[in-house]
Structure 1
């Protein structure tokens, strides 16, 4: 998952770029919230039906787009951010290590926390959960971000939403390797490695599940984000109406793709990645960033999007337990309450846990703590 906010007051701040002058991109944070919200909406529909709170109706049947496409938006954002951070740092001594350290600090603590929480939930509430048959290799691989099949054969970690992080961590490792070289050489390595992985993934046997997983077309979406960052750094900006039109076009593409089942027929890159790039382009290339109290609220929700992505399944299930005990019968009230509660819980996690932990770990790692600890 892309975990982003353009504000490093230390070695991760891009030099001589508009991003450095701007501090951070509010519309990028809004895009992150949109991505997480789309994923959460899809999961909420599934859980509302699975828990028997509602079995039919618009709340759970309305699906104009492929809701997992929120992940594709995240991957485009991730490619955008990594290139934005690293463009002027290729070949700089020590930066690749610093980059990878910051990525680990940004991703690992919160994910491991929820991974431990999932293991605890399986132990205590196994009767309410699916896929509770775990083995040691699956647990260890989940902590190490290595794709590994569950007992049912599905290649996802113990915390199933963590499958996206298996791609993210691989991308970070490839990008950090590229940072060891000059920009031209490094970019050749990064682009070549991602394309090679995709090509290899199409020809290896099914039993080579690690390469099959990493070789899916979704991995190419990081390249789309990097291309957008290139355009951004070249100063390309769009009038507000054009930016909105791009976002609308991206969502229209997702609607059409869902109608013809393009993801299932042509893979994630074609079925969702290109549309995701349109959406992200509309947010990041707008000449006039969003402002005002409503925008600030969405930016804060965007800051908490990683927490929202990881925490919302837990929030949904805990709310469902309370809902069941209270005997409340309104599906609409459950749905609305769940949406609001998931967002509020994620903001609380971000403020009280994620941000302080990142700041502390960054300080321990030798970085200079910023006054505003917004981290990628």
Structure 2
């Protein structure tokens, strides 16, 4: 286990929870939270960190176990499906059933059988809520995770150890086709998502790690921190000018630097392990998939109860609920299901 990666997973998941908690508080209570949108929306970088982590982990796995045959490629992809699909599909079916039986509980999304089919196969679909999200909204990121796994697996099968670099190069080239697209079809949204480039940043980070070229120490930490601060300030200042394509690159670089910082301090984190953050890293996927449901239920109950609570009490409360549900979803659902499928594989 790479301890720093567990910490990064914990950080990424909690950032996503925070930004959604702030956003839903604003929506349900219909009032400003007194914090600039630029500030709390930056929590969305948790997704970008996840993409860089995925690139790093796939670089690590494929370098340790090269895919020299088609059967190894199939096994590689099967392992990725087992890791991601079971919990996602379980929650998706739960939400679809809820949409069908209790449609009034949902604000905009309506039950749509075609939407369900697209969601099951991780295909973007313009739904009744006028978004391209699947039924489980966070599942949009899994579309790109699976595409990346497919590209990485095929590249490594065809080109051996060089395949990781072929995959990274393809993702970099793919990024430069985005400027001329309007993402009007599902296929365009799958293959030309700007944030796909962030997986290549993770591959590059993995290459540095495997070749022992990650610089540790006070000076590198200060330099990385300084660069992060500069780039974040640039984004805040140019918030209105940075489009999605530019943002994908900018937040990808910031995510790379954050991941670099944590991985460069692997030895330090090994000496001072935090069971809380390690546990949060383990349950990060369950937390990521369940937190929006928990937040929606919590805010609906608060609005219904007409209890007036301080923003500074509500936000920690709902975030704590998300952490609680995420932990026990991992303990009693995700981990047992994953173990069952691994034994059968």
Q: CA deviation at 1:74?
A: 0.6
d(CA) in 2 for partners of 1:141 and 1:67?
Answer: 28
Match in the other structure for 1:83: 59
Structure 1 residues 362, 287: CA separation in 2 closer, same or farther (over 3 Å shift)?
A: closer
Q: How do 1:172-191 and structure 2 match up within 5 A?
A: 172-183=149-160, 185-191=162-168
How many residues were matched structurally? 341
Q: How do 1:103-118 and structure 2 match up within 5 A?
A: 103-118=80-95
Match in the other structure for 2:14: 37
Aligned-residue CA RMSD (Å): 2.6
Q: CA deviation at 1:219?
A: 0.4
Structure 1 residues 237, 192: CA separation in 2 closer, same or farther (over 3 Å shift)?
A: closer
Structure 1 residues 293, 199: CA separation in 2 closer, same or farther (over 3 Å shift)?
A: closer
d(CA) in 2 for partners of 1:293 and 1:231?
Answer: 24
- Tell me, yes or no, if the aligned pair for 2:228 and 2:254 is still in contact at 8 Å: yes
TM-score norm. by structure 2 comes to 0.89
SS of corresponding position for 1:320 = helix
Q: Deviations over 1:174-218 (max 9, x none)?
A: 111122134355235413432454344444565444224431321
Match in the other structure for 2:46: 70
Match in the other structure for 1:340: 320
Match in the other structure for 2:237: 259
| 2:190 is the alignment partner of 1:210 | no
Structure 1 residues 265, 115: CA separation in 2 closer, same or farther (over 3 Å shift)?
A: closer
Question: Unmatched 5+ residue regions in structure 1?
Answer: 1-23, 366-376
Which of 332, 335, 345 aligns to 1:352? It is 332
d(CA) in 2 for partners of 1:66 and 1:263?
Answer: 13
Structure 1 residues 265, 190: CA separation in 2 closer, same or farther (over 3 Å shift)?
A: closer
Match in the other structure for 1:57: 33
Which of 114, 134, 142 aligns to 2:119? It is 142
| 2:292 is the alignment partner of 1:316 | no
Which of 84, 98, 103 aligns to 1:121? It is 98
d(CA) in 2 for partners of 1:187 and 1:27?
Answer: 22
TM-score norm. by structure 1 comes to 0.82
SS of corresponding position for 2:43 = coil
Question: Unmatched 5+ residue regions in structure 2?
Answer: none
d(CA) in 2 for partners of 1:303 and 1:317?
Answer: 24
Q: Deviations over 1:289-322 (max 9, x none)?
A: 4147762211110111111111011111222244
Which of 248, 254, 264 aligns to 1:275? It is 254
Higher-helix-fraction structure: 2
Q: How do 1:19-30 and structure 2 match up within 5 A?
A: 24-30=1-7
d(CA) in 1 for partners of 2:50 and 2:186?
Answer: 23
d(CA) in 1 for partners of 2:179 and 2:57?
Answer: 28
- Tell me, yes or no, if the aligned pair for 2:172 and 2:200 is still in contact at 8 Å: no
Q: Which moved more, 1:200-209 or 1:101-110?
A: 200-209
d(CA) in 2 for partners of 1:324 and 1:152?
Answer: 22
Structure 1 residues 193, 249: CA separation in 2 closer, same or farther (over 3 Å shift)?
A: closer
Q: CA deviation at 1:119?
A: 1.5
SS of corresponding position for 1:180 = helix
Q: CA deviation at 1:141?
A: 1.1
d(CA) in 2 for partners of 1:157 and 1:278?
Answer: 30
- Tell me, yes or no, if the aligned pair for 1:242 and 1:282 is still in contact at 8 Å: no
d(CA) in 2 for partners of 1:202 and 1:62?
Answer: 24
